[in-house]
Structure 1
């Protein structure tokens, strides 16, 4: 038994595919199959049930996978620790982020992090919040970036930013000349919002209901760019996170207006498992928190 066999065992179990595990490790699928067969022969148990369409862990495989994952985590941590001792941290971070955070918040943090730690490989993917929680539970990512974080068992939540919500309207809209608006000004207006299953959309809907404001929903979408384009086209107004319309405000393609009422800002958080984080992930947390503290 060797570490390569254990890593392939973990990779196949997580991806449920010999071919995906092969691509992730830059080897051929037959090589993966051979390594797994050698491991099974040495252990004296079958680890996977293989069919033409899917790969699933056997009961024995289920019993062993968590131990194999622990061994691989310890090996990765050991390599990361050695790189720290040498003064040049290395390793990998897998992070999933919701689009509005990844596109409008993450850039400056990521630039600073990669400048400080050029030998750490950063794998970034865009997902919605629900998928991010699922990926964390399945250990397919190391951390997630979401808005309005949920407290879930086994998750460590670090809120590192709070973003004001503002009103965005077309430049020809009657409200466009105002510097501030009251939520009462939205009564009966055509309105564009995030879908209800998006936490930001749910929070905006809650704010309107708390203030007894009824709007005419003409469109919902889970993509901030689609919402902005609809507002620019004059289809309706939208309440959005301030940073997502900063460029439009500067270019004067949208009127961005502050809301008079003291509505809660949008919290943005880094989610990770409560268990011991990798050295690269801890370094990334330090950059997030340190950059934000320097702003305050």
Structure 2
């Protein structure tokens, strides 16, 4: 005998799982709460198990429900994939997408991407994991994130790395610092001054150590931080100078901070989309991926971003990170 439930019952189940409420789920799928309850009852009866524990205050999945939830999500995603070539179902579906991203890109670039995506797909929830480069890779490989945006991963056999842009490192300093009057600064000149650095857990530190193997600072940094956000705060407070990715700098109209290109050598990092090789994206993640590409084309005028002159047109806020 066949299992007697349909697509609407699975969509009702997913809505309750994601929203944790029969009332909110009913609103999300545009039916009454009693009608949604009947769909869940029908699904439970067809499967012969209870999927939810319901009280007057909360709704939680049973053990069987927790096992069934990923399968139901996969069934609905597979159906969406099949239907995308026939009609646009993404704008009406209820779902989620999880993106892992290094904080400097999360702050600088992704807000406009998420805003554009939300306007097109208001029912799809976006979860952003703003983490270090190593943690971004881990989230993508483990499947915690659908994909990531980072500057590490091009050498990983499990990862596909699609370049979005290339940016160079610049010397960040106060406007009243001697380096601010220069058109360019060598790394040796940078290290003649008190400077702040990122610690060994940072992906930026690994990149710089490899690129500057022949450049020896005259003294250790006055302070190490884990994130570029903190580093720029220390620079603003007058603690010294620092080497940071150009994307991390605030706009050219910032009253205190400015940047100067670093040379001898010019050190660049490539920022790209990282995906687990061989793992297809869900329809919701595929649309987010497409939105990133479209937004990048519209907002980043150069593939080799250099300092404030490039980033000022698309960034007005101050914070950054690693």
Q: Under a length normalisation based on structure 1, what TM-score does the superposition of the two structures give? A: 0.69
**Structure 1 residues 154 and 26 mapped into 2: Cα distance closer, same or farther (>3 Å)?**
farther
**Structure 1 residues 26 and 155 mapped into 2: Cα distance closer, same or farther (>3 Å)?**
farther
Distance, in Å, in 1 between the alignment partners of 2:263 and 2:61 is 56
Give the structure 2 partner of residue 26 of structure 1: 24
Structure 2 residue ranges without an equivalent (≥5): 27-33, 53-59, 304-322
SS at match of 2:270: strand
After superposition, give the CA deviation of every residue in 1:12-71 in whole Å (9 maximum; x if it has no partner): 9xxxxx7x761599359xx999999986775568999xxxxx98968x986x77654431
Matches within 5 A, 1:1-296: 1-3=5-7, 22=20, 26-27=24-25, 42-43=46-47, 67-78=71-82, 80-81=84-85, 83-84=87-88, 94=97, 95-107=99-111, 109=113, 113-114=116-117, 118-121=119-122, 123-129=126-132, 130-152=134-156, 154-187=158-191, 189-247=193-251, 249-273=252-276, 274-277=278-281, 278=283, 279-288=286-295, 290-291=297-298, 295=302
**Structure 1 residues 180 and 285 mapped into 2: Cα distance closer, same or farther (>3 Å)?**
closer
After superposition, give the CA deviation of every residue in 1:149-180 in whole Å (9 maximum; x if it has no partner): 35445543211111111011233433332221
**Structure 1 residues 35 and 198 mapped into 2: Cα distance closer, same or farther (>3 Å)?**
farther
Distance, in Å, in 2 between the alignment partners of 1:5 and 1:197 is 47
SS at match of 2:200: coil
Structure 1 residue ranges without an equivalent (≥5): 13-17, 49-53
> Aligned pair count?
279
Asked if the contact 1:155–1:272 (Cα under 8 Å) also holds between the matched residues in 2, the reply is: yes
Distance, in Å, in 2 between the alignment partners of 1:56 and 1:190 is 58
Distance, in Å, in 2 between the alignment partners of 1:128 and 1:218 is 25
Tell me which protein shows more helix as a share of its residues. Answer: 1
Asked if the contact 1:149–1:268 (Cα under 8 Å) also holds between the matched residues in 2, the reply is: no
Root-mean-square deviation (CA), in Å?
Answer: 4.5
SS at match of 1:84: coil
SS at match of 2:266: coil
Asked if the contact 1:188–1:214 (Cα under 8 Å) also holds between the matched residues in 2, the reply is: yes
SS at match of 2:256: coil
Shift of 1:230: 0.5
Q: Under a length normalisation based on structure 2, what TM-score does the superposition of the two structures give? A: 0.65
